[in-house]
Amino acid sequence: MRLLITIPQVLVQTLFLALGQLWANRVRALLTTLGIVIGVASTIAIVGGTQGLKAFVLKEFESFGASRFVIFPRNPRETPNRYSPQQIQLKLREARLLERTCPSIARLTPVKSFVAQVQFGDRVEQNVRITGMDEDWHLIEGRTIIAGRPFSRIDEEEQRAVCIVNDKAVEELLLDKEPSSQSILVGGRKFMVVGVVETKTLPTIFGGGEPLSEVYIPFSAANAMKPEPIFGLFIQGTMVSPDAFDDLEAEVRSALRRSRELKPDDPDTFLVRATEQAISSINRVSVGLTIAATCIVTISLIVGGVGIMNIMLASVSERTREIGLRKAVGAPPIVILTQFLVEAVVLCLSGALIGLLVGYGLIAGLRAIPDGPMAGASVPGWAVALSVGFSAFTGIAFGMFPAIKAARLDPIEALRHE
């Protein structure tokens, strides 16, 4: 009961005492807490910088469709001869199944892609990429229709012989800029050009190359030209949000594995990827950097903690007589312990505070670079809480030994100490 009243009383007073002492020895305190300052500052800078980098790259991909995904068939490397190509290939039925069962999928289109000869008048182009997809593709890819019209439900349902070409194909085949009932031969079949779509290549840093001629036809038409089971398809779609990939992958795996009757030990015979999987790899990089930041903060807090312990031991030694006096006038051991712990924690927290200021300064500097990739750098609250929390913990952990030493001092010996 007595301690219940005494400890808060002592806490408040030692807080002021500790702050006063810190101010009196500010150079020493600053040097002591340097480890903690560096640890907290670098954590804040790394986490903030990572957030900025992530925001930058995500924004780059956003223009390309940040929440896009693809599902491919995959022959498991572990058992190359176990499945036939027909077993592995994705089927229209599976695409419809996923559309129905996966809540993380916003929309999808089956895609049948092959290479064929394309002819218009005397212009012949070999090996043109022909893509069959349904009208949702427009929403998934988000490409601008430069001229004419996009595909409609009717094109798909009635398996109409219409096509959309890209601007490159218009150029190569010498088509009219505005679609005007001209027809081209795709693999020997006649398709009327109804629209022209812009060409979009990946940014060169992500492997994009020279634009090529592209021809798009309704999925049903493509399916008629290249039917299952000889020709499989792949699935392209959008997720409900850019970071829903983990959920999506789980849902797709569960649905497809069940539909393909794979046993628990069997490897997947399909592959789910987000937009070139860049987003998830960026997320991985960002997690990696966060872990690195955590390691840095841990190491520097340990180093800083040893510094704190050292200075607290020196403080206990310097103030032995004071401890003796305090004990003589009635301070019980637990109160002395509290006093020294409060001092250690205050020391650590003031280091953390300086570290936060330095970290925020670094982030402000990164943001100030004109047109730099770090314009979106920001420090999340959890990073601040984490580094401050760790610092306080360091104070308690490394202040404990000196504090116990102080608490155990014999008052008679302490008062005799020179």
Partner 1 sequence: MTISIRQVEKTYIVGEERVRALRGVDLEIKKNEFVAIMGPSGSGKSTLMNIIGCLDQPTTGSYVLNSRRVDSLDASALAKVRNQEIGFVFQSFELLSRATALKNVALPLMYAPGKWFGASKRAAEALRRVGLADRMDHRPNQLSGGQKQRVAIARALVNSPSILLADEPTGALDSKTSEEIIGLFKELHAQGQTIVVVTHEEDVAANAERIVRLRDGKIYSDFPRRLDPIHGEYLRAMMRQAMELNEPVASDPQTQQEGGA
Considering only residues 245 through 284, tell me which ones interact with partner 1, judged by CB under 8 A: none
Task: Tell me how far apart the alpha carbons of residues 109 and 381 are, in angstroms, rounded to a whole number.
Answer: 40
Q: Which of 68, 160, 326, 405 binds partner 1 (CB under 8 A)?
A: 326
Q: Is 314 in the site for partner 1 (CB under 8 A)?
A: no
Q: Is 334 in the site for partner 1 (CB under 8 A)?
A: yes
Q: Is 2 in the site for partner 1 (CB under 8 A)?
A: yes
Under DSSP, the state recorded for 63 is: T
- # binding residues, partner 1 (CB under 8 A): 28
**Radius of gyration, CA atoms only, the chain:** 34
What is the CB neighbour count within 10 angstroms for residue 265? 5
Q: Is 338 in the site for partner 1 (CB under 8 A)?
A: no
The torsion angle over the Cα atoms of residues 115, 119, 124 and 128, rounded to 10 degrees, is -20
What are the Cα distances from residue 25, in Å, to 30, 158, 214, 272, 301?
9, 85, 73, 60, 21
Q: Which of 76, 333, 373, 376 binds partner 1 (CB under 8 A)?
A: 333
Q: Which of 150, 332, 373, 380 binds partner 1 (CB under 8 A)?
A: 332
What SS3 class is residue 363? helix
Task: Tell me how far apart the alpha carbons of residues 216 and 209 are, in angstroms, rounded to a whole number.
Answer: 19
Task: Tell me how far apart the alpha carbons of residues 282 and 201 are, in angstroms, rounded to a whole number.
Answer: 20
Q: Is 5 in the site for partner 1 (CB under 8 A)?
A: yes
Piece in contact with partner 1 (CB under 8 A), picked from 106-114, 173-181, 236-244, 319-327: 319-327
Q: Which residue in this structure is represented by tokens 């806490």?
A: 11
Q: Which of 205, 264, 329, 371 binds partner 1 (CB under 8 A)?
A: 329
Piece in contact with partner 1 (CB under 8 A), picked from 6-14, 85-93, 222-230, 244-252: 6-14
Considering only residues 175 through 204, tell me which ones interact with partner 1, judged by CB under 8 A: none
Q: Which two tokens stand for residue 384?
A: 């601040």
Q: What are phi and psi of 333, to 5 degrees?
A: -50, -40
Listed in sequence order, the DSSP H helices in 146-277 are: 153-157, 167-173, 219-225, 245-259
Q: Is 21 in the site for partner 1 (CB under 8 A)?
A: yes
Among residues 389, 414, 399, the alpha carbon closest in space to that of 343 is found at 399
* Closest CB 339 distance from partner 1, rounded Å: 10
Pairing of strands 123-133, 214-218: parallel
* Closest CB 314 distance from partner 1, rounded Å: 17
Q: Is 321 in the site for partner 1 (CB under 8 A)?
A: yes
Nearer to partner 1, 23 or 382 (CB): 23
Q: Which of 19, 97, 147, 325 binds partner 1 (CB under 8 A)?
A: 325
Contacts with partner 1 by CB under 8 A lie at 1-3, 5-6, 9-10, 13, 20-21, 24, 321-322, 324-335, 411-412, 415
